Amino acid sequence: AQKITQTQPGMFVQEKEAVTLDCTYDTSDPSYGLFWYKQPSSGEMIFLIYQGSYDQQNATEGRYSLNFQKARKSANLVISASQLGDSAMYFCAMREDQDSSYKLIFGSGTRLLVRP
């Protein structure tokens, strides 16, 4: 079974509107971390936001927020007030803390295109 699932290969959003990128995960580890990264066409992976499994509140970083629903095992990224520069690939990733390698498991990504 896929550990990280991103069901939206591509998304469109109008500039200045909000958009939600979906991510569901599968783990039996009670302690884990969830991450979102942005990859523009230049290729660099930009860290956006982190949510720990024990965090009581949903993570927020500027225009990015993470809608963490633990029971549903979902960690959707919400981008508010979309900008043209938000057009990029977005990857959801998970780190399982019982795995002492600290490696990240990535989803297949969602390509977001912001329309002017």
Which residues of this chain interact with another protein, rule CB under 8 A? 33, 35, 37, 42-47, 50, 52, 54-55, 91, 95, 101-104, 106-109
At residue 28, φ and ψ (nearest 5 deg) are: -105, 0
Smallest gap, in angstroms, from Cβ of residue 63 to another protein?
Answer: 18
CB-wise, 22 or 55, nearer to another protein? 55
The token pair that represents 49 in the structure block: 């936001």
Kindly state the smallest distance separating residue 1's Cβ from another protein, in Å.
16
Q: How far is the CB of 16 from another protein (least distance, A)?
A: 28
Indicate the residue among 8 and 108 with the shorter CB distance to another protein.
108
Residue among 28 and 41 whose Cβ is closer to another protein = 41
The token pair at 81 is 């007030």
Q: How many CB atoms lie within 10 A of CB 68?
A: 19
Two structure tokens written together for 5: 């699932």
Choose between 56 and 116: whose C-beta lies nearer to another protein: 56
d(CA 96, CA 81): 32
The CB-of-17 to another protein minimum distance in angstroms stands at: 25
Q: What does the alpha-carbon distance between residue 102 and residue 35 come to, in Å, rounded to a whole number?
A: 13
Q: Are strands 110-115 and 10-14 parallel, antiparallel or unpaired?
A: parallel
